[in-house]
Structure 1
Amino acid sequence: MGAEAEERPHGAAVVADGFGLKGPRGWAFREVSFRAGPGTLVAIEGPSGSGRTCLLLALTGRMKAKEGTAEIGGLQLPKKMAGVRRISALGHVPGVSELDPAFTVAEHLGERALLQRRFDGSVRTFLRRPSERRASARARIDEAVAAAGLDLAALPKGERTSVRDLERLEALRLSIALALIGRPRLLAVDDTDLKLSDADRAEAWALLRSVADSGTTVLAVCSEAPEGALRITTLDATTAADTATAAIDKAADTAPGTEARTDDEAEAEADTADDNEAGADTDTADDADDATAADTKVNKASKAQVPDKADKADSDLTEDTTEEGAADALAETGRA
């Protein structure tokens, strides 16, 4: 039994197939498909408002997708959301798992260790002596702090340093340490490279790579994915709208019965008609003129139908990926 547990990969494999999430005013993201093995660093790249955070929360079981499926560590979404939450942990995610600026580093770490023991510990844990429980909690904290590369001694006031006094990179390390206390199989971090210098950004990605190398699968939202990471790109609302409009316009141009002929094609047809009807009487020529006039009316009517489809495209864009849709979906997040 122990040998099988050691052979089993610690990280959770992530598989998404046509994954999509829709809010009250539009799609936050859709048609996301990729595969990532255990211990992979996955960078969710895209501009702000393109549904990156919603995708992160959906893949960790915190938001319910509306289309497609995903599988996290063998647990299918959206059916097994609770199971996915048990094997995943959130680092920094604004509005969901933020650090309290009034807390000290030690208070954050102690609180997380206490919650971990209270909600995820076995009954046998509560039968231990208080000294053993404290030693076990301290060991978990030290392990997580070391894995996050957070040097407590280098902080201005050590463990008593308030979160508000931490640098951006130090706060990121603390949030990752808090997530790692639960020894998750999947770690999710939002805004990984936000407000970081080039040097700090390199350190942040080196940290996440080390976590992935240790076996934990990492999902990291960023504006620009680093080299060596599995890149998943989300589109912003403007790009998605342009893509949808282009697709609808193309469909309108090639749809049967709405194809408009060019002037050259009309003249070629007229010349062919003249050659075939050479020697015919004046009535036949008049009929040909009437037919040409009718073709012109059909062409004008066909061209008039194209703007109607463009208008329909504009109305359909409300159903596409929008920043408002992502914000509404994020606001509907139940439990983090």
Structure 2
Amino acid sequence: MTAVVHATGVQKSFGNHPALRGVDLLARPGEIVAITGPSGSGKSTLLHCLAGIVRADRGSITVAGHQLDAIGEEERSKLRRNEIGVLMQFGHLVAELTALQNVALPLLLRGESRASAAQRARTWLDRFAVGDLADRRPTQVSGGQAQRVAAARALVTEPAVLMADEPTGALDSLAGEELMAQVTLAARARGTTVLLVTHDARVAAHADREVVVRDGLVVGPPRARGAGGPSVTAEGPVAPGSPA
């Protein structure tokens, strides 16, 4: 099966500090992969490189058939509009826009009509149980509600991959669990690949498998989530007796 995300030998430094020291990672269509590790391990930097937000210094990254190290910023921005949904810890909604306008914005940016964008935005707000907040601005809703709006915005374009960086980090446990249940349901219904950076074991439990990053490297064989699952590596399932 063709990978949606394939990274090999990814390196990134900030000044003299190596944040990533040669990371390999592969995610297949419809997979939910948790990227875990301690603070400062490089997991968020890895996600930002995979999303094309930060350019890696070395290595190769291919997302939805596009090699990021071979295209410029304009092409990477277009890729994020069409193939990559991004969900950050604090949502980053546009304060001046209503929930409906925030969710419709990615569709408008890629040329969809206002009527069509508004209709699709309402559908996604309803899927995240915040349709009744369509006309409210971010300052008029709770943190959990705002993050649901942000999740709807990240998925409204029906991207090939959703990249989420600590999406529940600013929420209480109940709001975080509700958000992850809704994100997981929406992703599985559409076969969307999800790369999920988290330090929370309860959030990682929603994933099919877990990749652990420490000191800028993937360490050990990544773990399948759930009892009785196959052993896995960063490149997917491993048959019994096969090398990791």
Q: TM-score range by the shorter chain?
A: 0.7 to 0.9
* Aligned-residue offset at 1:135: 3.3
Quote the Cα distance in structure 2 between the aligned partners of 1:222 and 1:76.
26
Quote the Cα distance in structure 1 between the aligned partners of 2:163 and 2:206.
19
Q: Report the counterpart of residue 56 of structure 1 in structure 2.
A: 47
Residue by residue over 1:3-29, the C-alpha shift from the partner in whole angstroms, topping out at 9 and shown as x without a partner, is xxxxx99xx611222222122231122
Relative to total residues, which structure has the larger helix share, 1 or 2?
1
Q: Report the counterpart of residue 173 of structure 1 in structure 2.
A: 148
Give the greater-gyration-radius structure (CA).
1
Distance 1:47 1:193, change over 3 A: farther
* Identity in percent: 28
* Aligned-residue offset at 1:194: 0.7
Match of 2:167 among 189, 192, 212: 192
Quote the Cα distance in structure 1 between the aligned partners of 2:100 and 2:21.
40
Residue by residue over 1:256-283, the C-alpha shift from the partner in whole angstroms, topping out at 9 and shown as x without a partner, is xxxxxxxxxxxxxxxxxxxxxxxxxxxx
Native 8 Å contact 1:46 1:234 kept in 2: yes
Quote the Cα distance in structure 1 between the aligned partners of 2:97 and 2:212.
35
Q: Within the alignment, does 1:139 sit opposite 2:130 as a pair?
A: no
Q: Report the counterpart of residue 131 of structure 2 in structure 1.
A: 152
Q: With CA pairs under 8 Å and 6+ residues apart, which has the higher RCO, 1 or 2?
A: 1
CA RMSD of aligned residues (A): 2.9
Q: Report the counterpart of residue 223 of structure 1 in structure 2.
A: 199
Match of 2:102 among 99, 108, 121: 108
**Given residue 208 of structure 2, which amino acid in structure 1 is its aligned partner?**
A
* Aligned-residue offset at 1:173: 1.2
Native 8 Å contact 1:60 1:188 kept in 2: yes
Paired residue total? 209
Q: Report the counterpart of residue 31 of structure 2 in structure 1.
A: 40
Name stretches of at least 5 consecutive residues in structure 2 with no aligned partner: 220-244
Q: Report the counterpart of residue 236 of structure 2 in structure 1.
A: none
Secondary structure at 1:20 match in 2: strand
**Pairing 1:250-329 to 2, within 5 Å after superposition:** none
Name stretches of at least 5 consecutive residues in structure 1 with no aligned partner: 1-7, 122-132, 244-336
What TM-score do the two structures reach when normalised by structure 2?
Answer: 0.73
* Aligned-residue offset at 1:31: 2.4
Q: Report the counterpart of residue 230 of structure 2 in structure 1.
A: none
Q: Report the counterpart of residue 77 of structure 1 in structure 2.
A: 68
* Aligned-residue offset at 1:49: 2.8
